[in-house]
Amino acid sequence: MARKDKAKAPENRRTTPPPENRRTTPPAAPRVPFRARFAVFRERMRVRLSWLRRAGSIAAGVVVLAASSAGLYAVSKLVQRHLRTSPSFATKVIEVHGASHLSHDEVARAAGLALGQNIFQASPEQAQAQLLREPWVATATVNRRLPGTYHIELSEHHPIALLALDDLYLVGEDGVAFKKLGPGDPADFPLITGLDPEQVQHDKHGAVAVLLSAVGLLADCQDTGLFRREPISEIHADDDGSLSLYVGPDATYVRLGKAPFRSKLNRLKLVLSELSNKRSRAAYVYLDNERRPDRVTVRLR
């Protein structure tokens, strides 16, 4: 029996737990000397103070910049007020070159300029834009010369014909109907007829082509000398774009057809010269035979 009790004794024996389950107390943190802690604190404060000083400098710069901008704005306003009110910058001279139909005063008025007016009141660009609204002005350049001079260089339209629509319009050398005929405008020009106002409105390119063809015909009449011998009173445009003339004091009808016109005009000049030598006049002359361009049909009066 005693041996059995001895065998059970180990159950009540205290055993040591395994190392992995053993609780350990963490080591105490090492004590940092006061001088080291103070050095770290001083370094942190230095960094913060540097950031504060930098932010203060930026803020001060912003304030100075704002104050400078306000000061510059105030100075600029004073300068502008002086420039726009000082008698030193009153317009004293308006030079105009290139005008023939328009007078000096009409050009200055069209440009919105006047003597005594402050020279900064109207910029050269504004004066130029206003000049180009004047129908007689084809091109314009305006320069300003301080303290009080404007220089205007312009070119005008040169009318060579009248276009008959609902009213009469002056036609320039470039084929542009630039102005409605008004009182005092020159009117001793050949008349271009055959264009319908509605046609011009709906087919501007076609109308421009007809006008350019008529202008080219007038130039050919000048070059061949026909215009001096037989003044042209009318150029008529047909629907197909062909042109006819009424020439001479008795308005002889001449059907030319389509361009080119120079060779036809030379033949017309010969025909009229021969008839004049025979003391005859033609009722009409046809020069529009495309198959036989050398053939001329003439009917005498």
Mean pLDDT of 80-88: 68
CA atoms of 135 and 75, how far apart (whole Å):
43
Is 143 in a helix, a strand, or coil? strand
Q: In whole angstroms, how far apart are CA 103 and each of 33, 97, 99, 107?
A: 101, 10, 7, 6
pLDDT at 227 over 70: yes
What average pLDDT is seen over the chain?
84
At residue 298, what are phi and psi to the nearest 5 degrees?
A: -130, 135
Say how far apart CA 82 and CA 145 lie, in whole Å. 18
Q: What is the mean pLDDT of residues 46-62?
A: 66
Q: Is pLDDT larger for residue 40 or for residue 1?
A: 40
pLDDT score, position 290: 86
Binning pLDDT at 50, 70 and 90, where does residue 12 land?
low
pLDDT score recorded for residue 1: 45
Domains of the chain in sequence order: 88-156 (3.10.20.310), 159-300 (3.40.50.11690)
Mean pLDDT of 161-168: 95
d(CA 8, CA 10): 6
ω into 183 cis (within 30 of 0): no
Q: Which whole number is the average pLDDT over 218-238? A: 92
More confident residue, 22 or 91: 91
| 240 pLDDT tier (thresholds 50, 70, 90) | confident
